[in-house]
């Protein structure tokens, strides 16, 4: 029996979140405004997804680099307090990855400005075969590509499911997609990879290159999943958004949870959409993870 249901490999962050009357626009009256509220909250792509998985009862571990500063201690404790095993995650001298997030309190839309010291880079030497082979599913982001590639290869060799969080285009993107079981793209990525603005057509173009399940998140327009030659599409759940920070990460956690339950393709999308929608109704990334009962209720209703 695997020690973990899910191992997440990738980013963590400590976010300074500013709620604003609107997002600033240079050269207008909104270029200077008073902040409505400011809070410091834990986040990061993979860290947030793992916090959600642990909240929903999955045995969860995280591998990523923490700084030895206060931000790093807060980010590490935030995961540990939620039941995520962080014992394999190295702590290094330097400032933890951090971000300034500006949230439009009218719509919940946000702008993210982030920074990370080179010392916080996760290398392939940090990814041990023993850790990866102890997970039923391995989830990677594309921040540190060489580490993600090694983890994906080891996981596939061990017979594990591999899911991804692909937000940018790099020379390693195609190889990473070829290694994962379920490639989950941010909304702009399929067009950037194929040149086709239509997400359904773009996924079908990518199908000619990759045999993985191919998924794209589309925010308020829901999500799509291509399995073999069959395209599944599910609309977003309508909610009054407070803060969209972390919604994509929590969508991925929802898909992971449903995958490990053996759900049908359409339910993978519905589960992800429901979890993401609920997360938008509260502030923060990790702090916006809904309870399992809330997601089940929304799916039933």
Is residue 83 classed as helix, strand or coil in its secondary structure? Answer: coil
What's the pLDDT at 280? 94
Separation between Cα atoms, residue 273 and residue 257, nearest integer Å? 12
What's the pLDDT at 283? 87
Separation between Cα atoms, residue 151 and residue 251, nearest integer Å? 21
Q: Please report how many Cα atoms fall inside a 13 Å half-sphere around the Cα of residue 16, on the Cβ side.
A: 10
Output the pTM of the full model: 0.95
The b-or-e profile of 255-287 (16+ CB within 10 A means b, else e) is bbbbbbeeeebebbbbbbbbbbbbbbebbbbbb
The CATH code for residues 4-12+45-94+120-300 is 3.40.1190.20
Domain coordinates in residue numbering, the chain: 4-12+45-94+120-300
Cβ-proximal residues to 121 (8 Å cutoff; 6+ apart), any chain: 65, 144
- DSSP 8-state symbol, 14: E
Separation between Cα atoms, residue 132 and residue 128, nearest integer Å? 6
Q: What is the pLDDT along the chain (301 residues), one digit of tens a residue?
A: 679 999 999 999 999 999 999 999 999 999 999 999 999 999 999 999 999 999 999 999 999 999 999 999 999 999 999 999 999 999 999 999 999 999 999 998 889 999 999 999 999 999 999 999 999 999 999 999 999 999 999 999 999 999 999 999 999 999 999 999 999 999 999 999 999 999 999 999 999 999 999 999 999 999 999 999 999 999 999 999 888 889 999 999 999 999 999 999 999 999 999 999 999 999 889 999 999 999 999 999 8
Cβ-proximal residues to 163 (8 Å cutoff; 6+ apart), any chain: 137, 138, 139, 140, 180, 181, 182, 184, 252, 255, 256, 259
Tell me whether strands 213-217 and 161-165 are parallel, antiparallel or unpaired.
unpaired
CA 164 to chain centre: 8
Tell me whether strands 4-9 and 60-63 are parallel, antiparallel or unpaired.
parallel
> Residues 292, 199: contact at Cβ < 8 Å?
no
- DSSP 8-state symbol, 25: -
What's the pLDDT at 288? 93
CA 259 to chain centre: 15
């Amino acid at each position: 029996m695997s020690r973990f249901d899910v191992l997440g490999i990738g980013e963590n962050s400590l976010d300074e979140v500013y709620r604003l009357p609107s997002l600033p626009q240079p050269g207008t009256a909104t270029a200077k405004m008073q902040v409505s509220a400011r809070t410091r909250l834990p986040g990061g792509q993979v860290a947030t997804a793992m916090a959600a998985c642990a909240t929903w009862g999955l045995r969860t571990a995280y591998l990523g680099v923490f700084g030895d500063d206060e931000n790093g201690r807060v980010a590490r404790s935030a995961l540990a307090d939620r039941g995520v095993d962080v014992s394999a995650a190295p702590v290094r001298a330097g400032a933890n990855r951090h971000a300034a997030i500006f949230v439009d309190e009218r719509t919940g839309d946000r702008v993210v400005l982030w920074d990370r010291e080179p010392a916080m880079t996760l290398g392939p030497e940090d990814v041990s075969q023993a850790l990866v082979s102890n997970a039923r599913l391995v989830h990677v982001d594309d921040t540190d590509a060489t580490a993600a590639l090694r983890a994906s290869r080891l996981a596939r060799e061990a017979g594990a499911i591999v899911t991804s969080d692909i937000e940018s285009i790099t020379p390693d993107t195609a190889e990473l997609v070829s290694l994962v079981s379920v490639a989950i793209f941010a909304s702009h990525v399929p067009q950037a990879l194929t040149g086709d603005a239509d997400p359904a057509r773009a996924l079908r173009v990518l199908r000619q290159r990759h045999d993985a399940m191919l998924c794209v998140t589309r925010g308020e327009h829901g999500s799509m999943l291509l399995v073999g030659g069959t395209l599944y599409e599910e609309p977003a759940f309508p909610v009054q958004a407070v803060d969209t920070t972390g919604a994509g990460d929590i969508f991925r956690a929802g898909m992971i949870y449903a995958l490990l339950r053996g759900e049908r393709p359409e339910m993978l999308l519905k589960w992800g959409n429901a979890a993401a929608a609920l997360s938008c109704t509260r502030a923060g990334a990790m702090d916006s993870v809904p309870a399992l009962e809330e997601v089940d209720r929304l799916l039933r209703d």
